[in-house]
Amino acid sequence: MAKTRKAKPLVAILMGSTSDMDQMSRASTKLKEFGIDHEVVVTSAHRSPAQTAEYASSAKRRGIQVFIVGAGRAAHLAGAVSAHTTLPVLGVPLESGALKGMDALLATVQMPAGVPVGTLAIGGSGAENAAILAAQILALADRAIAAKLDRFKKAMAKKVPGVVEQVVAD
């Protein structure tokens, strides 16, 4: 029987609630495509602040290199993580509640100077782009990931048809 390899997570995907999983799973799917080990964590800036602080401040020691952090509504999680680490933090504002992610977008993007959060688009596409960006950060020091990103870009370009029709207008 094939021996399963032990995970060596390089990326941590955090979210504020299990209700965020649908949108944030796109980050995990993309990282899997690039062959990047990661861990998925539900922790809240508001409901479990001590757990969040402990996780964020110990992650670098455990080999994590990039954080992807999604939260909805009054989204403080990415900022709280950034407060406890010098690793890059990619924030994903999630679509949740009456304001459909506009609240989370403003909360995530408007960090005060000194506590950076690189903010992606609202929702699943933001989560997916956060994973690609995380791969691009890791690729600076990892040729295998860089090669996978090159192939990904080429495959994406091939799917865009270019000129689809020439129309004679008379």
Binding site for ligand RP5 (CB under 6 A): 15-17, 19-20, 44, 71-73, 94, 96
Least distance (Å) between residue 15 CB and ligand RP5: 6
Residue 58: CB atoms within 10 Å: 12
Least distance (Å) between residue 27 CB and ligand RP5: 14
Indicate the helix (H) or strand (E) that contains 38. strand 38-42
Least distance (Å) between residue 45 CB and ligand RP5: 7
Residue 156 near residue 128, CB atoms below 8 Å? no
Cβ distance to ligand RP5 smaller for residue 10 or 95: 95
Query: DSSP alpha helices (H): ranges in 34-101?
Result: 49-58, 77-83
Cβ distance to ligand RP5 smaller for residue 76 or 84: 76
